[in-house]
Structure 1
Amino acid sequence: MLNGIKQIFGKEMARILKDKKMVFSVFFLPVIIMVALLTIINSLAGQMQSDIEDHKSIVWMQNEPESFEAFLSSAGMEYSVRTVDSDSDRAEAEDQILNGKADLLIEFPENFDQLVAGFQEGDPVPQVKTYYNPSEDYSAQAYQEISVGVLESYRQTLLAGRVGNPDAITVFTVNSDNDDMVIQDDEKASGRALGMMLPYFITILLFAGAMGIGTDMIAGEKERGTMASLLVAPVKRSSIVLGKVFALMAVSGISSLIYVAGMVVCTPFMMDSMTGMDEALNLNLGADQIIMMGLLLIAIAFLYSAVVALISVFAKTTKEASSYIMPVYMVVLVVGLLTMFRMGDGGRWDFYIPFYNSAVALQLILSHELTMSQYLITLVETLALGGILTVLIARAFNNEKVMAL
């Protein structure tokens, strides 16, 4: 039986590896596309951030007090200021903010300086109103910079003029001089950052790799008529099944390792530009974690290969097999997305859910949080499910009606 498995395995691997176009499309093209996409994303994100930072905010002022104008001048803050002098100006300001042609509207009460200077206990506190468009990047940036930052500094300046020393009425501050406020494990934080995306891409690419090759291994041979001659060869049908499944597992496993390596290299650059992380990702996996990840990837590749092979057995052509597999592929996509938005520690039942448990386990390996019991549950269940599906494939191979489809 072992010789038969070896023969089928060697035949399938030779067919794939000798086809230069297939090798390129399976192993290298996805990595090239992925690196190109991440490079483009990184470049565009950097350009967008630079453009926002270099933009000179267009700010409409209504009843701007002289003290605020003087404050902006002394602080060296330059904005393109437009004045609201009438109702028509106000309508124009709101319309421009709505359409992205202006960024912010600041409305001061009339006679603001006099109200502040003559304030007595019991008087209503003057209110400064700001208006912006959160769906416009320039407007959102202007709101954060001016409405949240500049106006607060202006308020502190006016307060100092009223009480002499604003610290006298400041009960306490929060982290005003605390450079050591962040307490975290950098490796764990980096693992969590990578764990948001890597399990998703690993599961998707593993299944996609198995799907692309697996449909041709079984349904393709049916379509070409070579399966019939293979079934009458002096090789047990169980050996044919195992040889094809192991070959498919090897191809999808190798391709996934290449994809993961590409993701590990490219993810830090993407995280830096898209999340604003100032420090490089610091991922350091121990030998035990690398072994755990390697074994789990083998188990996942085995399961996905068995799923693809089982579906292909019941199809007449590769096109038909692809149409049957697509719903399962969509399930895998959803499972990957669920892990990206997984919050907290989850529950122990997460590790009993097929497909989902392996993605969660990969995520927790990267963040150094996976326990041995959780890992063993995931690994054993994944291998067991792959084994059950392989038995079903072998039975289907022994069914003449199925193989004659």
Structure 2
Amino acid sequence: MKRGWWIVFQKEIKELLTDRKMWLGSIVLPLLVMPALMLFIAKMQAGAAEDARKNINVALVGHNARVEQAISKIPEMHLVEKSDPLQALKDGDVRAVVTIGEQFDQQVQAQKPAGLTIAYDPSNQKSEAAHGLVQQTLQVLSQEVAAERLTKLNVPPETLLPFDVQSIDTSEENQKAGSALGFIVPLLLVLSCVTGAMPVATDLMAGEKERGTLEALLTAPVNSRQVLTGKLLSVSVMSFLSALLSTLAMVATFRFMPSSEGDSSQDLHFSLSYLSAVDVLTILGALFFVSIMFGALMLGVSSLAKTYKEAQTYLAPFVFVAMVPVYATMMMSINEIPTQYFLLPVLNTTTLMKEVLYGVSDPAHVAMVFGSSLVFAILAVVLTANLFRRESLIVKG
């Protein structure tokens, strides 16, 4: 004869698979949301970067032929006349205002520093990008004027360049991808565990209590521990299934994104084609323990509610619980993450995923994360088991 927990597990899974809400929340959404969100982020960033360097209107106050020529030489920049340039900048009609000092020409001829100011709006990303481009253009013009002055004095321009400083990019493609995605990917995958478990835990405990079917199940020839085990497995399986589908959707999306998005995706370094099967299994292993922990905790919290809607209210904070650890490591490089982070619940999983996305594989960190996650999963199961023994939390009313 089959074990009681297996009978309960089969019964719950069959009911879940015939429930449209469960299919939508735990299976359909991860398959659709992850690729759609990643493609949306890539397109938005590529579009924003491209749009910031197009049709840059610059207002010019004062006149100087060389300054006007230098700015007009850039195809993306257009000089426009405005009666009130600063107001036009605030209104977004221009992205920068270049003011030429009244004594500019005389100062240049006298070989003195000539005054130029660039007004821009740092709160506007397009204005900030325009400021950088205008500043770079005027710096090039300044260097040209300086070179002309040195030539008149029979001094080689190289005299003022005692150092030849060059920058070398030592990062690899996987590190660039990890830097770009080390925040959003762990956030989405951990949230998928929560969103996959939440509707199941709500229905299997508070929902059945409200319908009165939980009491009937407890009168069946299976003990309460087997009932809890079957329900816990059901919640954990749906939670992990949601995380699994999200992970596979993420990997598939990024593997094909460069060929489908073209050069813009390459420039944004959104390809995760460097991830190996071991890397993916490491991520899934960490998410497996998170699924069990969240599944047990949500099942326990759901038992505190008397109705389905009340359980939804109680379980809503789990979304924030999943988000906080990700935000805690958002601005950290993998070299800055403290060792204790690999031992804290949820935070250990997000830091491990961040390392994997950076292309770093540290067996010690993997062992710490898996070991600590196992401990937290066991503690969550024990806590829920103790709540399940309280008749007042299980029986309706």
Structure 2 equivalent of residue 86 of structure 1:
none
Q: CA deviation at 1:244?
A: 0.8
Query: Separation in 2 of the partners of 1:115 and 1:107?
Result: 15
Structure 2 equivalent of residue 387 of structure 1:
378
C-alpha deviations, 1:211-263, integer Å up to 9, x for none?
Answer: 11111011111111111111011112111111111111111111111112223
Structure 2 equivalent of residue 65 of structure 1:
64
* Closer, same or farther: CA 161–81 of 1 in aligned 2, 3 Å: farther
327, 350, 367: which one aligns with 2:341: 350
C-alpha deviations, 1:17-42, integer Å up to 9, x for none?
Answer: 13355323420134324444444444
Alignment of 1:297-336 (within 5 A): 297-336=287-326
The answer for unaligned runs of 5 or more in structure 1 is 84-88
Q: Does 1:118 align with 2:102?
A: no
Query: Which residue identity is paired with 1:314?
Result: L
Number of equivalences: 388
Query: Separation in 2 of the partners of 1:75 and 1:325?
Result: 55
* Closer, same or farther: CA 118–81 of 1 in aligned 2, 3 Å: same
Once the two structures are overlaid, the 10-residue window that deviates more, 287-296 or 377-386, is: 287-296
Query: Separation in 2 of the partners of 1:359 and 1:75?
Result: 44
Structure 2 equivalent of residue 15 of structure 1:
15
Query: Separation in 1 of the partners of 2:7 and 2:162?
Result: 80
Query: Separation in 2 of the partners of 1:279 and 1:296?
Result: 25
Please say which structure displays the higher CA radius of gyration: 1
Query: Which residue identity is paired with 2:220?
Result: A
Contact 2:181 2:270 in 1 (8 A): no
C-alpha deviations, 1:287-336, integer Å up to 9, x for none?
Answer: 54344333222111111111111111222112121222223332222223
Once the two structures are overlaid, the 10-residue window that deviates more, 346-355 or 198-207, is: 346-355
Alignment of 1:278-297 (within 5 A): 278-279=268-269, 281-297=271-287
156, 163, 166: which one aligns with 2:143: 156
Contact 1:199 1:362 in 2 (8 A): yes
* Closer, same or farther: CA 76–396 of 1 in aligned 2, 3 Å: closer
* Closer, same or farther: CA 149–52 of 1 in aligned 2, 3 Å: same
Structure 2 equivalent of residue 104 of structure 1:
96
Contact 1:242 1:390 in 2 (8 A): no
Q: Does 1:242 align with 2:232?
A: no
Q: CA deviation at 1:59?
A: 1.8
Contact 1:272 1:278 in 2 (8 A): no
Contact 1:107 1:129 in 2 (8 A): yes
Query: Separation in 1 of the partners of 2:365 and 2:40?
Result: 38
Contact 2:205 2:303 in 1 (8 A): yes
Query: Separation in 2 of the partners of 1:78 and 1:341?
Result: 34
Query: Separation in 1 of the partners of 2:192 and 2:289?
Result: 15
Q: Does 1:360 align with 2:360?
A: no
Share of identical aligned residues, percent? 24
Query: Separation in 2 of the partners of 1:52 and 1:292?
Result: 39
Query: Which residue identity is paired with 1:316?
Result: K
* Closer, same or farther: CA 191–78 of 1 in aligned 2, 3 Å: closer
* Closer, same or farther: CA 360–217 of 1 in aligned 2, 3 Å: same
Query: Separation in 1 of the partners of 2:248 and 2:378?
Result: 28
Contact 2:232 2:295 in 1 (8 A): yes
Structure 2 equivalent of residue 377 of structure 1:
368
* Closer, same or farther: CA 234–76 of 1 in aligned 2, 3 Å: closer
Q: CA deviation at 1:398?
A: 3.0
Structure 2 equivalent of residue 213 of structure 1:
200
Q: CA deviation at 1:138?
A: 4.1
* Closer, same or farther: CA 273–261 of 1 in aligned 2, 3 Å: farther
Query: Separation in 1 of the partners of 2:269 and 2:279?
Result: 24
Which secondary structure does the structure 1 equivalent of 2:267 belong to?
Answer: coil
- TM-score, normalization by structure 2: 0.86
The answer for unaligned runs of 5 or more in structure 2 is none
Q: CA deviation at 1:71?
A: 4.8
